[in-house]
Amino acid sequence: MKMSNFFGHFCTITSHKIRVMKNCFRVGLFKQGILHDISKYSPQEFFAGVKYYQGNRSPNAAEREKKGYSEAWLHHKGRNKHHDEYWIDFSNDFSKGLVGHKMPLKYVIEMVMDRIAACKTYKGENYTDGAAWDYYILTKPYSVIAPETDKLLGTLLFMLKEEGEDKTFSYMRELLKQGDY
């Protein structure tokens, strides 16, 4: 294990976590801000992150390229409710197979904060408020997500792109006061 990868990965995930925490605090999601991505420090995720660390993208992508799948990602998405993949399960109508189920509002908002932080972490000085929207559009054809969750996610990311963080975060605070979408 390279010590530079160890410290690089630790600093990357910690920087990301702090960004998400600060943004969650801005909208009133204090518990989620504190607990966000704790599983990244578990042995299953952390040591895979060190092994596949590159510094400019998720180590999960490199692990996936090497092995055809990412054990760290499978572990992560199964423990973190702010990922839409966590909410994939069989439909009550078995003829529909696996479907995305509606995510609770607080997790959709945490997901937005997660995407903002990931883009800031990996894009650095090239970050714009449109970066998370661009990633959303890139991955949308491959996502299995409940229609109402997808609609809210798209709305929030487009608002971020067009109107910036202050207006989008204010809107998210209001949504949280309402309690649902």
Average pLDDT score over the chain:
97
Res 3 pLDDT > 80:
yes
- H helices within 52-146, ranges in order? 59-67, 71-77, 105-123, 131-139
pLDDT given for residue 22 in this prediction: 98
How far CA 38 is from CA of 13, 32, 33, 45, 111, in Å, comes to: 10, 10, 10, 10, 15
Consecutive H or E run containing 97? none
Exposure string of 9-36, with b = 16+ CB inside 10 Å and e = fewer, is: bbebbeebbebbbebbebbebeebbeeb
- The percentage of residues in the chain with a pLDDT greater than 90, rounded to a whole number, is 97
pLDDT given for residue 55 in this prediction: 87
Partner residues linked to 89 by β-bridges: 99
Res 1 pLDDT > 80:
no
Res 143 pLDDT > 80:
yes
Partner residues linked to 90 by β-bridges: 98
The pLDDT tens digits of the residues spanning 97-139 come to 999 999 999 999 999 999 999 999 999 999 999 999 999 999 9
For the record, the structure tokens of 110 come out as: 């945490």
Residue type, 124: G
- The residue among 73, 95, 94, 96 whose CA lies nearest residue 85 is 73
Average pLDDT (87-94) is 96
pLDDT given for residue 62 in this prediction: 96
Confidence category of residue 44, pLDDT binned at 50, 70, 90 = very high
Confidence category of residue 81, pLDDT binned at 50, 70, 90 = very high
Average pLDDT (39-53) is 97
Average pLDDT (160-177) is 98
